[in-house]
Structure 1
Amino acid sequence: MPAFARAPRRPGWGRLAALAALGAVFAAGQAPLGAWYLALPALGAIFALGARRAPGWSGFAAGFGFGLAALFWIVEPFQVEAEVYGWMAPFALVAMAAGMGAFWAAGFGAGARLAGVKAPLWLTALGLGLGLAASDALRSYLFTGFPWALAGHIWIATPVAQAAATIGPLGLGLVTVLSAAWPAGARRARAAAGAALVAALGLGALWGAGALRLAAPEPERAAPVQIRLVQPNAPQDEKWLPEFRLDFFYRALDLTAQDAAPGAPAPDLIVWPETSAPFLLDRPGDGLSMVAEAAAGTPVALGIQREEGLRYFNSLAMIGPGGTVDALYDKAHLVPFGEYVPFGDLAARFGISAFAAQEGNGYSAGPGPRLLDLGPLGHPLPLICYEAVFPQDILAAPARPDWLLQITNDAWFGTLAGPWQHFALSRLRAIEFGLPLARAANTGISAMIDAKGRVTASLGLGRAGVVDAALPAALPATLYARSGDFPVLALLAAISALIYLFGRKYRVDLTPPQV
């Protein structure tokens, strides 16, 4: 029988504060800073401290600091009507950070137990790294998923991100944690330097391979497609006010009717952002006819809300000549507590209808991913706002799309980190699937992104205007597009099994002895 060991107590407040600060530095690797060169050493220091004492507490502190720094934009939606909701902002931020800390704590705790309580430092650090990678995977799927600010996202602005075409976002995360954990587990400076050199060589190889992929010749489209992305720049606190909403609509109409630049082709498709129409699809009045008239025969992908009985949907409608609705997509992956309240319809069965989508409270989800048939323009997969965060939603499409079409309203999230992080995830989706992505955002960032995640044309935050750009060609289906996350999850499980087997002799029983 293994000997009984007392569970480690909480570290001192000074150590917890240091871990939280390191977590905040690790967050600097996320957009808009993209400071991977700060984030990676910070993560290594977190593993080194966590491996020495109370890994669960260490994980919570580091994850809490990371959540505060990476997700501080969550306070922005509460400032839209600050006089009503502003008091909730600090509680929302603390709750989000604590949730992040809980995932990190679970990952660190499981990783330490996997290695064994009396395992050598290097094995425990490796266990913590795998635990963090596993918690990122769990967070990507659990409770409808929140794959935002994952460890591997620190590479999006670098050539290393090109590896996502093969291993996806979770694979990038596994590379990240292994690169930080190996040097962190060395007891001697010489061993740490050697491990850091090996990790640097591995990351350098990925960097070089990514640079070669970026330099490879681009395929050409069989027929050119010109797309206009409309950015009306309607601030969220003014967007629906009676005195402003028609002004923003007329602004979008003027941008739609704007002549192309001299020598540039006319657009083949015009795209408006999410919820950019100030009327319901089912009760448009003259709205759809006005959109069609401004487009002068060019089809318009319009972000609009619609009703069906007492239910409401966040939708994309294809508007043809004369204001006809030629295709429709209802957003399927809704934001919990932002667009609907989980189990609201279930609560309505027990007489609590205030949160029920079936009673008109929040949006109802559409049936799922679907491709639009745009004839000579191809078959794009529409993604409304938050849906571009989830590679699994693209994997669930009924067929491989020709390109990705995202409409979004990031005005909710200010101008600091939130919109930039969302934009970075859109770039990563293009890399993962080898597909170009056209992105129309209400207040920015509207952009055309090629199949390797490069921005070919864009309009920044807080500006009204259009992006007229040619749709880049798609690449052949990537390995990630064919296999998804399964290979990386299987590799993560295999490495974890090896650590478990290797750490058997270091494992002790934490169950109190029977008296």
Structure 2
Amino acid sequence: MKPVVRLAAAAAAGALAVGGFAPFGVFALPVVALATLLWLVDTVSPRSAAMTGFAFGMGWFLAGVSWVNVSLSQFGGMPLPLSLLATVLFCAYLSLFPAAVCAAMRTLRPSVALTPWLFAALWVSSEWLRGTLFTGFPWLASGYAHATPSPLAGYVPLFGVHGAGFVAALMAGVLALFVLRRIALRPVLLSLAALLAFGALLGSVRWTEPTGRPLTVSLLQGNIEQSMKWVPERLPDSMQTYLDLARAWPADLVVLPETAIPLPYAEIDPAWLAAVRATGRDVLMGAVTLGEVDGRARYFNSAVALGHDDARYSKSHLVPFGEFTPPLFAWTLQVLSIPMSDFGRGAKVQPPLALAGEKVAVNICYEDVFGEELIDAAREATLLVNVSNTAWFGDSLAQPQHLQIAQIRALELGRPMLRATNTGMTAAIQPDGRVVAALPAFTRAALRVELQGYQGLTPFMRWGNVPVLLLALAVIIVAAVQRKRG
């Protein structure tokens, strides 16, 4: 195969993989795409394999996270040519990880039996690194394609999103071997069927159990346009919108989205706060709060329980450039116009909030992408609540992809996950990953659901990513020993 054809095929396979994620949800596509990638690098040099993996990554990320450009240009104020360049460079950085996987595969050259296992080990290790280095960007980790109703969703409560990703990559390796080595069809089908059947069987296990009485929750979606949200003249409209929604949909717990009112919390009219507070047994609202870090006053991106002075959660995992500026990148503030873009960092571990008879573990927007970071608070919680403002990404793939990520978090942690967002997707998710109700994006409405809190620990809550990472490391070591022995 000519190099140009191979690179084009890899980029097309990468773009095809995006069809496995929300809103498309054809969860077999990433498996087929990864099998195609392994087939494309089977006989090439490590350098050519790296280029092929890079092309796969560019197709994958340009198709899957191009919404980054929307936030930079449309809402961040960056000139379009510069925002396009920044998006391409960002995707190029993300593409280094599949490039490294392919280069390692051709360098180690594992035995036939070990090939699927090594590919799965390298792939999942690269995705874990991508979600860890430089504060991490685990978006589109392959396991996210296997939220409910994928048969592989059953692996998630045991081994997390990377466990499902490992199994998916293992299946891709088996498919690639069938094509490359002409192995018999029967063992291939039996292997794939066994992995799928075991995942489906695990999906019937209930790792956690309901606790307490049912409660009603109202999740408010104000649909305040991002370009208008920070305009001072629009502030009264925003405040009236959320007050009207709260009054129309009273509940045991009323939840307003991230930075629902674009004012520091201390400056919001106390009469308005009291009126909203009166609409629920408890009310949780995303707000900008003032605190202190190292003796210096700082703003925090928080969620505040109205009427409870000390009941608040402050965001810990901040978004680079959106909520803090990394060292050596202060110059970006000259080309970006993002309001309130220099927040203080909340404590890594914050106890759940006692609201409406439940213990509520709060996370804000992007934080729910980092499943292992939510474990400590979730152990003591009965309910998970995410408040977000994904209006930054417009009408793009970001919103359904984020909802799918929340489905995985509910599976990993065995708790209901509630999402209150400004423009979408506001939803309620059960511990088995099912979306039981959701509002259409870009509508002004409220979602009221009745549910119960849950208690107990999933295996993932006990061990986190450690088991799948140890398995991956063991496989890589075996492959390295094989290679050394020739």
Residue 306 of structure 2 corresponds to residue 319 of structure 1 = yes
Aligned to 1:77: 71
Residue 260 of structure 2 corresponds to residue 273 of structure 1 = no
TM-score, with length taken from structure 1: 0.85
Give the one of 163, 173, 183 matched to 2:155.
163
- The alpha carbon displacement at 1:189 in A equals 6.9
Residue 346 of structure 2 corresponds to residue 401 of structure 1 = no
Cα contact 1:136–1:150 (8 A) shared by 2: yes
Partner SS state of residue 447, structure 2: strand
Amino acid at match of 2:276: A
Partner SS state of residue 152, structure 2: helix
TM-score, with length taken from structure 2: 0.90
Residue 224 of structure 2 corresponds to residue 234 of structure 1 = yes
Unaligned runs of 5+ in 2: none
Amino acid at match of 1:225: L
Give the one of 347, 369, 378 matched to 1:389.
369
Give the one of 144, 156, 166 matched to 1:174.
166
Give the one of 318, 338, 351 matched to 1:334.
318
- The alpha carbon displacement at 1:182 in A equals 2.2
Aligned to 1:462: 442
Cα contact 1:73–1:413 (8 A) shared by 2: yes
Residue 89 of structure 2 corresponds to residue 95 of structure 1 = yes
Aligned to 1:254: 244
Counterpart CA distance in 2 for 1:183 and 1:218 is 35
Partner SS state of residue 236, structure 2: helix
Aligned to 1:510: none
Cα contact 2:75–2:392 (8 A) shared by 1: no
Amino acid at match of 1:338: G
Counterpart CA distance in 2 for 1:475 and 1:77 is 38
- C-alpha RMSD of matched pairs (Å): 2.8
Counterpart CA distance in 2 for 1:126 and 1:144 is 28
Give the one of 264, 289, 308 matched to 2:271.
289
Mapping for residues 20-419 of structure 1, pairs under 5 Å:
20-53=11-44, 54-81=48-75, 84-115=78-109, 126-157=117-148, 158-186=150-178, 190-191=182-183, 193-194=185-186, 196-213=188-205, 219-258=209-248, 260=249, 266-284=250-268, 286=269, 288-296=270-278, 298=280, 299-308=282-291, 310-320=297-307, 325-343=309-327, 362-374=342-354, 377-397=357-377, 399-419=379-399
When residues 473 and 372 of structure 1 are mapped into structure 2, their CA distance, relative to the original with a 3 A threshold, is closer
- The alpha carbon displacement at 1:33 in A equals 1.0
Counterpart CA distance in 1 for 2:85 and 2:309 is 43
- Percent identity of paired positions between Structure 1 and Structure 2: 31
Aligned to 1:446: 426
Moved more, 77-86 or 164-173: 77-86
Counterpart CA distance in 2 for 1:456 and 1:413 is 24
Moved more, 295-304 or 246-255: 295-304
Give the one of 478, 495, 498 matched to 2:478.
498
Cα contact 1:432–1:481 (8 A) shared by 2: yes
Moved more, 302-311 or 403-412: 302-311
Unaligned runs of 5+ in 1: 1-9, 261-265, 507-515
Counterpart CA distance in 1 for 2:332 and 2:31 is 48
Amino acid at match of 1:495: V
Partner SS state of residue 79, structure 2: helix
Cα contact 2:251–2:279 (8 A) shared by 1: no
Partner SS state of residue 454, structure 2: coil
Aligned to 1:7: none
Partner SS state of residue 381, structure 2: coil
Cα contact 1:183–1:192 (8 A) shared by 2: no
Counterpart CA distance in 1 for 2:440 and 2:86 is 28
Cα contact 1:29–1:38 (8 A) shared by 2: yes
Counterpart CA distance in 1 for 2:42 and 2:112 is 6
Cα contact 2:54–2:96 (8 A) shared by 1: yes
Counterpart CA distance in 2 for 1:46 and 1:352 is 36
- The alpha carbon displacement at 1:89 in A equals 2.8
Size of the alignment, in residue pairs? 473
- The alpha carbon displacement at 1:192 in A equals 6.1
Partner SS state of residue 223, structure 1: strand
Specify which structure has the higher proportion of strand.
Answer: 2
- The alpha carbon displacement at 1:82 in A equals 7.6
Cα contact 1:451–1:473 (8 A) shared by 2: no
Counterpart CA distance in 2 for 1:280 and 1:234 is 17
Amino acid at match of 2:136: G
Aligned to 1:511: none
Partner deviation per Cα, 1:184-241 (whole Å, 9 max, x = no partner): 134667416345413421332134315534xx69954422221111110111111112
